[in-house]
Structure 1
Amino acid sequence: MSDTPLVVGIDLGTTNSLLARVVDGKPQLVHDGKDHPVALPSAVSWTDEGELVVGRNAVERAPLAPQRTVLSVKRLMGRGLADLSPAARRHFSAELVEEGRQLIKVKIGERAITPQEISSHILGELKRRAEAGLGQEVKQAVVTVPAYFDDAQRQATRDAGRMAGLEVLRIINEPTAASLAYGLGGKDADGVIAVYDLGGGTFDLSLLRVQAGTFRVLATCGDTHLGGDDVDGILVDSALALLAEQGVDVEQAGPRLRAQLREAAERAKIALTDAEQTLLAVKDPTQGINLELALTRAELNRAIDPLVDRTLDLCRKAVADAELSVGEIDEVVMVGGSTRTPHVRTRVGEFFGRTPHTELDPDQVVALGAAVQADILSGQSESDVLLLDVTPLSLGIETFGGAVTKLIMANSSIPTQATEEYTTPEDGVTAIDLHVLQGERELVQDCRSLARFKLKIPPMPAGMPKVKVTFLVDADGILRVHAVEARSAAEAEIEVTPVHGLTEDEVDQILEDSYTHAIADVQLHQRIDLRNESRTVIRAARKTLGEAGDGLTAEQRAAIEGGIESLEALLPGEDNPAMKTALEALNEACEPLAEIVLDRAVSAALEGKSLSEVQ
């Protein structure tokens, strides 16, 4: 095993999450112990017994257990309920609740779970699979976030990594990572790149100046509630309207129907990437549902045009913020699974007046770029690329009368710091309440509250105290605020924990809970794996029995059927060793059946051929 520190790149996406590393100078997805890419849907579900299910199996559970399944948890990271529109709330079938400090949680049964903890399960599964394939522990990572993620959302992402047992060395913007993956920043490069990133739940447009191996983000614009999920939502609403016309009480049908329709809508949308028409079909006799909605690509294009228009409006804003014209954009890079839609590519190409780059897999490009940055941080890369990200929104402090004084402006390069001096408007003040805000408006009521803390000072006449307030934003976009009163040397400092974020103690408690339940969690994970493998073997055995069972003896058939019955009886239980033994017995009983299938396949391949042709 190499002594080289292993740092991986992780794309913690709204719809899918991936893990990559650099091998021999090239970024690539890490493969797990079964030689599958370490990539999984960003989905988490809990069974009625409390078992945790992550990834593809969680997605498959969504139509059956929508209120115990969370999809697109990234939409909730660092948010309060007030931040979510009614449409955004409808996306979640599970109940959303809010606790102290506007901390949003997802209600699963009797438990209320933070988005950070849910995301940590996704990161933990990526970590587990990567370690199985690499044969070594994964401890450090670079994690990507949308460029428009604010301080609260970035801190929530860092907390999720810590809960998963990962030291997050750097949080970088997804568009910046995509640019690294395309390698558009060589020593001789000089120009402006527009990175158009339309994923499952977020949209970002970043403009990057590339010059002599240096990336600098000139401007970013985005929407954390705009993506492919919204396209699915439009199709779901159309399907619900049709069902209502057919006399179905869609309100009575509840979240299960919406989950079934969302899954069918995603399949239809993907199908229309290549086909001109398809069917959005859902059949559920238990609810009296038999839906077949014909969709054409032209209809999909018309449906998504308003969403594309919203993205292009944000593109215009970013270009204006960077004080550029569209004609000064040299390259356009497409990122995110939703950019596979031909109509999106066409509209973006028309807006920028050039054909966008689509050479790399849009679902992998962010993870690959994160791996490049991870390689740089590990000290193994010979790259001389320098990343200079920017603050997405202005940062400031409340002043007398409810006004906001901005210390760090939007699109300032980070790391950065700024200092301002203040005094008191009244006599005898003994504590100054420092209110940290984020936003572009001028009044406190119109900006986002990040944190409050107090600076205690001796009583002095109005105007006498000299309070220096320093804002420091590190390379991850995390804000620290320091205040000192010059005459008394009183000082106070805070690393901003947003009003709806987790405190250090809360993160520690979640970690402690995970340690306390570690053995039980491992057993649950093993049970889930055994059940999944058992169901796969049972399905295959039944299918092959129907196709080639006529070649078995009565005893052989009875052994297979008995093995299926025994294994199925154990699936609802919790006896892992018995389930494993029954699975091995069924596999052994199926060996004669496998030989028959193989013999018939060889015979079919040789049929009609002479000996010389075979030789």
Structure 2
Amino acid sequence: MSKVIGIDLGTTNSCVAVMEGKDVRVIENAEGARTTPSMVAFADNGERLVGQSAKRQAVTNPTNTLYAIKRLIGRRFDDPVVAKDVGLVPYKIIRADNGDAWVEVRGERYSPSQISAFILMKMKETAEAYLGEKVTQAVITVPAYFNDSQRQATKDAGRIAGLEVLRIINEPTAAALAYGMDKKKSGTIAVYDLGGGTFDISILEIGDGVFEVKSTNGDTFLGGEDFDKRVIDWLADEFKREQGIDLRNDKLALQRLKEAAEKAKIELSSSKETEINLPFITADASGPKHLVMKLSRAKLEALVDDLIQKTLEPCRQALKDAGITAGEVDEVILVGGQTRMPKIIETVKSFFGKDPARNVNPDEVVAIGAAIQGAVLKGEVKDVLLLDVTPLSLGIETLGGVFTRLIDRNTTIPTRKSQIFSTADDNQTAVTIKVYQGEREMAADNKLLGQFDLVGIPPAPRGVPQIEVTFDIDANGIVSVSAKDKATGKEQQIRIQASGGLTEAEIQRMVKEAEANAAADRKRREAVEARNHADALIHQTEKTLKENAEKLGAAPEKAAVESAIADLRAVKDGEDVEAIKAKTEALAQAAMKLGELLYRQTQSGPGAGSSGPSEGDASGGQAKDEKVVDADFEDVDDKKKSA
């Protein structure tokens, strides 16, 4: 039975884990790191780079390197937060035909689900390399405050990556599951999750293997990226004041600023001051310009103080929804790399009145929880019950544009709720059901998830027809809605997709593209490995020829090797992998024959085969030489005996 992996698909970094027996293993990637940058790049030669290799070349290839794509997933192009992102990133965000926010790289259009799928494929490959078997099933985490569109788009990403997504689980819930299973704790836990792009707060009750989420709240556009942006803007403003040049207009310089800002922010978690040094950041008529600035921890805290304070209102709301006070929380868990910032630790401590738990790795705990949930779903872990909630209220638009709730936020899922509605006009034969998610009183102020029509209603005075609208939320937090005319029994049902999101045909096309790209990537990697093998063999063989030039003379074996080297050189830089392999094998055979010749020459040389003194030669076959001096010696042991 194949393993179920747990994947924390993060804004900045991703992590994969698997349950092995009673323990969870966080799996290292090919570079030996336990987290992988959530970055995808497209190189000049068409190669797709994911993770650390994409991050390494980001400075020189900013417009074709995609990061923080999670902030776009399941969002419309005209969403205000997308408009904000357009001005922040060096890559191109475009409006797709369906109105969603997509990206364009080297003339090709990609949905955020596709880019996320490339990252998931990398995590899948990492797990497969460790386990030594194919992986087809996963539990993937999302921010607790993700709406239905974002959850569906994440599930689509899993499908495109070739994974059956057994469950979409909320990140804070996964963290609490990992913490509770590990520490065997019970009580009320608050999970404060500030990652690269999103913020969540969840309040949970834990006891006897039951993990019940009481409430959740958050902000899906607040995270470490915003903290980085404050540092970038400060650096750019200071440089502009000194040099009169705005570095934000130069995409290459902007990428260097981003890397420097992230590095400085991390350093200031353990030191009071850091120096940012970027030589040759730009140039003008007077020559090259260098950026050298000092940033103190106090200055950083001043730059981001309002962002930190912004996390506290969701905390207050979550406590209110759970019906408890901060003092009634037994443990506070910090999740997400940004929570390593001392000011955040101090703020959380002040708000909850207690020190956050320090024995949790904020980068890995979510993936660990996802792996545990995978094992629970597979039946490998017993006596664990996870009761999660829907983060936002669900309802429909009714007369006057009012948002009528059917399912309130923080309702335990899975759940099902029905309500009877009627027509607004006399003789109305069809109704349009518009499904919204949010907390505002007017429907238009909330997130439109989708709409459908129920037709064929018998003509009747307004208010007479009875239309039953049913909401169904599964354990992944994904919504289905149906409307039924009670008189005729006619029913219309939709499974909510990302508003305008990917159609089934688009998903299938992307799955095929991902498979084709995976094959192309394998072929490209095979070609690189074949070239490396060829280069190594050429180098070794030429070294042998050079070292044994006198011995070989004009031997036919030498000529055969030189010819084989020339043949391999002619094909090794091409794309024909089979030709490279064939010529490499031919050179290997020729080199083997050359080795046999050299061995025979060594064997037939003077003194060959003697392994000890020859008969009648007490000196071991060594000829007398006037330079050899015979030395007197005395046996120490004998001397001791006679003493």
Same fold, TM-score > 0.5, yes or no: yes
Which amino acid in structure 2 is aligned with residue 152 of structure 1? S
After the TM superposition, which of the residue ranges 253-262 and 172-181 deviates more from structure 2? 253-262
Which amino acid in structure 1 is aligned with residue 204 of structure 2? L
1:55 touches 1:122 (CA, 8 Å); kept in 2?
A: yes
C-alpha distance in structure 2 between counterparts of 1:343 and 1:351, whole Å: 12
1:390 touches 1:413 (CA, 8 Å); kept in 2?
A: yes
Task: Tell me which of 13, 20, 24 is aligned to 2:21.
Answer: 24
2:247 touches 2:253 (CA, 8 Å); kept in 1?
A: no
Cα deviations by residue, 1:196-254 (Å, 9 ceiling, x for unpaired): 11111111111111233211111111111111111111111111012212325326842
1:165-184, aligned counterparts within 5 Å?
165-183=162-180
Task: Tell me which of 28, 44, 59 is aligned to 2:55.
Answer: 59
- Which residue does the alignment assign to 1:490? 490
Please state if 1:137 is matched with 2:131.
Answer: no
Deviation at 1:361, TM superposition (A): 1.5
- Which residue does the alignment assign to 1:345? 345
- Which residue does the alignment assign to 2:472? 472
- Which residue does the alignment assign to 2:271? 275
Deviation at 1:81, TM superposition (A): 2.1
1:370-381, aligned counterparts within 5 Å?
370-381=370-381
Deviation at 1:568, TM superposition (A): 13
Cα deviations by residue, 1:169-195 (Å, 9 ceiling, x for unpaired): 0011100111111126988x5421110
- Which residue does the alignment assign to 1:361? 361
1:308 touches 1:344 (CA, 8 Å); kept in 2?
A: yes
Judged with a 3 Å threshold, the aligned counterparts in structure 2 of structure 1 residues 495 and 247 are, in CA distance, closer, same or farther, namely same
1:508-519, aligned counterparts within 5 Å?
508-519=508-519
- Which residue does the alignment assign to 1:394? 393
Judged with a 3 Å threshold, the aligned counterparts in structure 2 of structure 1 residues 285 and 103 are, in CA distance, closer, same or farther, namely closer
Cα deviations by residue, 1:81-130 (Å, 9 ceiling, x for unpaired): 22243443333211111123322110112111100000000000111121
After the TM superposition, which of the residue ranges 492-501 and 11-20 deviates more from structure 2? 492-501
- Structure 2's unaligned 5+ residue stretches are 548-567, 588-643
- Which residue does the alignment assign to 1:433? 432
SS in 1 for 2:176: helix
2:281 touches 2:291 (CA, 8 Å); kept in 1?
A: no
Would you say how many aligned residue pairs link Structure 1 and Structure 2? 556
C-alpha distance in structure 1 between counterparts of 2:170 and 2:449, whole Å: 20
SS in 2 for 1:453: strand
Judged with a 3 Å threshold, the aligned counterparts in structure 2 of structure 1 residues 570 and 437 are, in CA distance, closer, same or farther, namely farther
SS in 2 for 1:418: strand
SS in 2 for 1:246: helix
- Which residue does the alignment assign to 2:522? 522
Which amino acid in structure 2 is aligned with residue 254 of structure 1? D
C-alpha distance in structure 1 between counterparts of 2:187 and 2:36, whole Å: 35
1:193 touches 1:331 (CA, 8 Å); kept in 2?
A: yes
SS in 1 for 2:311: helix
- Which residue does the alignment assign to 1:307? 307
1:5 touches 1:378 (CA, 8 Å); kept in 2?
A: no
- Which residue does the alignment assign to 1:294? 294
After the TM superposition, which of the residue ranges 119-128 and 55-64 deviates more from structure 2? 55-64
C-alpha distance in structure 2 between counterparts of 1:530 and 1:84, whole Å: 49
1:200-599, aligned counterparts within 5 Å?
200-250=196-246, 253-284=249-280, 287=283, 288-382=288-382, 384-462=383-461, 463-526=463-526, 574=575
Which amino acid in structure 1 is aligned with residue 467 of structure 2? V
Deviation at 1:262, TM superposition (A): 0.5
SS in 1 for 2:243: coil
CA-based RMSD: 3.1
C-alpha distance in structure 2 between counterparts of 1:294 and 1:6, whole Å: 49
C-alpha distance in structure 2 between counterparts of 1:121 and 1:442, whole Å: 39
Which amino acid in structure 2 is aligned with residue 200 of structure 1? G
Judged with a 3 Å threshold, the aligned counterparts in structure 2 of structure 1 residues 265 and 480 are, in CA distance, closer, same or farther, namely same
C-alpha distance in structure 1 between counterparts of 2:403 and 2:79, whole Å: 20
C-alpha distance in structure 2 between counterparts of 1:246 and 1:512, whole Å: 52
C-alpha distance in structure 2 between counterparts of 1:380 and 1:181, whole Å: 15
2:200 touches 2:216 (CA, 8 Å); kept in 1?
A: yes
Which amino acid in structure 2 is aligned with residue 464 of structure 1? V
Deviation at 1:323, TM superposition (A): 2.0
- Which residue does the alignment assign to 2:93? 96
Which amino acid in structure 1 is aligned with residue 53 of structure 2? N
Deviation at 1:513, TM superposition (A): 2.7
Judged with a 3 Å threshold, the aligned counterparts in structure 2 of structure 1 residues 76 and 314 are, in CA distance, closer, same or farther, namely same
Which amino acid in structure 2 is aligned with residue 24 of structure 1? G
1:52 touches 1:525 (CA, 8 Å); kept in 2?
A: no
- Which residue does the alignment assign to 2:621? none
- Which residue does the alignment assign to 2:608? none
TM-score between both structures, scaled by the size of structure 1: 0.84
Judged with a 3 Å threshold, the aligned counterparts in structure 2 of structure 1 residues 281 and 553 are, in CA distance, closer, same or farther, namely farther
- Which residue does the alignment assign to 1:163? 160
Q: Share of identical aligned residues, percent?
A: 42
Deviation at 1:162, TM superposition (A): 0.2
After the TM superposition, which of the residue ranges 494-503 and 574-583 deviates more from structure 2? 574-583
SS in 2 for 1:302: helix
Which amino acid in structure 2 is aligned with residue 422 of structure 1? F
- Which residue does the alignment assign to 1:546? none
Deviation at 1:492, TM superposition (A): 0.8
After the TM superposition, which of the residue ranges 567-576 and 164-173 deviates more from structure 2? 567-576
1:185 touches 1:212 (CA, 8 Å); kept in 2?
A: no
2:240 touches 2:247 (CA, 8 Å); kept in 1?
A: no
- Which residue does the alignment assign to 2:32? 36
2:38 touches 2:51 (CA, 8 Å); kept in 1?
A: yes
C-alpha distance in structure 2 between counterparts of 1:184 and 1:24, whole Å: 14
C-alpha distance in structure 2 between counterparts of 1:286 and 1:530, whole Å: 40
Task: Tell me which of 120, 124, 130 is aligned to 2:121.
Answer: 124
Which amino acid in structure 2 is aligned with residue 313 of structure 1? E
2:103 touches 2:110 (CA, 8 Å); kept in 1?
A: yes
C-alpha distance in structure 2 between counterparts of 1:193 and 1:354, whole Å: 12
After the TM superposition, which of the residue ranges 571-580 and 167-176 deviates more from structure 2? 571-580
SS in 1 for 2:359: coil
2:471 touches 2:482 (CA, 8 Å); kept in 1?
A: yes
1:39 touches 1:126 (CA, 8 Å); kept in 2?
A: no
Deviation at 1:500, TM superposition (A): 3.5
C-alpha distance in structure 2 between counterparts of 1:401 and 1:450, whole Å: 19
1:186 touches 1:213 (CA, 8 Å); kept in 2?
A: no
Which amino acid in structure 2 is aligned with residue 40 of structure 1? T
Judged with a 3 Å threshold, the aligned counterparts in structure 2 of structure 1 residues 583 and 372 are, in CA distance, closer, same or farther, namely farther
2:113 touches 2:156 (CA, 8 Å); kept in 1?
A: yes
Deviation at 1:5, TM superposition (A): 3.5
TM-score between both structures, scaled by the size of structure 2: 0.81
- Which residue does the alignment assign to 2:611? none
1:35 touches 1:133 (CA, 8 Å); kept in 2?
A: no
C-alpha distance in structure 1 between counterparts of 2:314 and 2:8, whole Å: 23
C-alpha distance in structure 2 between counterparts of 1:418 and 1:526, whole Å: 54
C-alpha distance in structure 2 between counterparts of 1:375 and 1:35, whole Å: 27
Deviation at 1:76, TM superposition (A): 0.6
Larger Rg: 2
